[in-house]
Amino acid sequence: QLQLQESGPGLVKPSETLSLTCTVSGGSISSNNYYWGWIRQPPGKGLEWIGSIYYSGSTYYNPSLKSRVTISVDTSKNQFSLKLSSVTAADTAVYYCVRHSVNTNWFDPWGQGTLVTVSS
Amino acid sequence: QSVLTQPPSASGTPGQRVTISCSGSSSNIGSNTVNWYQQLPGTAPKLLIYSNNQRPSGVPDRFSGSKSGTSASLAISGLRSEDEADYYCAAWDDSLNGVVFGGGTKLTVL
């Protein structure tokens, strides 16, 4: 059974870079049929797709975040990572990592999510 | 302001049928498939319907999805108390070159 688990600091200072890693278990990240993505949810608000990466390294980013986002993949560790630079309080959210199907663009499964708070 | 438009709330009594709408445009719902997610309180979202009307293994057939033009709908029949959750629609947007979500609909079972 495929499982995803987010890890990283729960508190980031304003203007710094948020860094999270997602570890995939129960399956290979090097699949032709899937991207691997990040989605966030500010407290009490809706879902926002951040971006996704293919195992080869090709990426898609949300245009509204593109200038601050970098997603990378490490196939040797079966992990992919998110970096979001110049964070502000508006970036405070639960961050989820997901498997993202190519062509039909559904997300399943989801990691449990990790709350990242931006505060000094 | 979300790219896809959903009603913020919906409600029904046990046993009733409720529908949740999701309105988009030609660049998203009009040209791509729609997926629906259920988020129970305090948990991560879960894929509920994919490719407009397909149910993943384990999702009861009380849940169904449909799409027409630039709109989609999620229907829940035989409403149960455990269906109380937030529901989100999503689709690829060709103009934005990314996935867009609806703002979510909070379903209350009265």
Three-class secondary structure assignment of A84-106: ECCCCHHHCEEEEEEEEECCCCC
Residue-wise pLDDT tens digits, A8-44: 999 999 999 999 999 999 999 998 999 999 999 999 9
A67 phi and psi angles, rounded to 5 deg: -70, -15
User: How far, in Å, CA of A29 to CA of A36, rounded?
Assistant: 8
Measure in Å the smallest separation between the Cα of A38 and chain B Cα atoms: 11
Taking contacts as CB-CB distances below 8 angstroms, the residues of chain A near B104 are: 46-47
Look at chain A and count its residues. Answer: 120
The span from the CA of A87 to the CA of A14, in Å, is 5
Which of A66, A105, A108, A112 to mutate to probe the B interface, most B CBs <10 Å?
A105
> Around Cβ B61, how many Cβ atoms within 10 Å?
8
> Among residues B91, B89, B93, which one has the least CA distance to residue B103?
B89
pLDDT in tens, chain B (110 residues): 899 999 999 999 999 999 999 999 999 999 999 999 999 999 999 999 999 999 999 999 999 999 999 999 999 999 999 999 999 999 999 999 999 999 999 999 99
**Closest partner CB to B99 (pick from A49, A96, A111):** A49
Record: contact B101-A106, CB cut-off 8 A:
no
The number of C-beta contacts closer than 8 angstroms across A and B is: 65
B99 touches chain A (CB under 8 A): yes
